[in-house]
């Protein structure tokens, strides 16, 4: 609410009365629910309504962990789980740009994934 005399922001107490925080004004009383527009007309805001209704959002979880990503390499990396030498390799910048990229590796045979920094 705003003070009807000076326009300072004032918070009403539970009974609906406000006390202007501006010590020069000193208004104490009920808050008038009218707003004066630039063209001189007054609008009653006591009939204004607000809504906090949220719209339903479409949320989907995409599980692509079973998809092999990257370039298939052979005899460059060895899977620590099954000792296969067929590995998908992908480079991603996971940290700041002045740091080296992260090599994400996925075994083509067993699907085990690991990272090299």
Residue for token pair 């918070």 = 11
pLDDT per residue as tens digits for the range 55-94: 777 777 766 656 667 888 888 899 989 999 999 988 888 8
Per DSSP, the three-state class of 114 is strand
- Per-residue pLDDT reduced to its tens digit, 13-36: 877 788 888 888 777 877 666 655
Q: Are 44 and 31 in contact (CB under 8 A)?
A: no
Would you say residue 38 has pLDDT above 60?
Answer: yes
- Nearest 5°: the CA angle 44, 47, 2 is 50
CATH numbers and ranges of domains, the chain: 1-47 (no CATH), 71-116 (2.20.25.10)
Q: Which two tokens stand for residue 68?
A: 């092999």
Asked if residue 37 lies in contact with residue 43, where contact means CB atoms within 8 angstroms, the answer is: yes
């Amino acid at each position: 609410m705003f003070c009807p005399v000076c326009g300072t922001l004032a918070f009403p107490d539970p009974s609906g009365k406000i006390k202007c925080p501006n010590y020069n004004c000193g208004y104490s009383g009920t808050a008038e629910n009218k707003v004066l527009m630039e063209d001189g007309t007054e609008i009653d805001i006591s009939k204004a309504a607000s809504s906090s209704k949220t719209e339903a959002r479409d949320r989907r979880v995409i599980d692509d962990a079973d998809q092999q990503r990257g370039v298939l390499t052979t005899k460059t990396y060895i899977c620590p789980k099954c000792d296969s030498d067929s590995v998908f390799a992908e480079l991603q910048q996971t940290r700041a740009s002045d740091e080296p990229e992260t090599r994400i590796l996925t075994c083509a045979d067993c699907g085990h994934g690991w990272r090299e920094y």
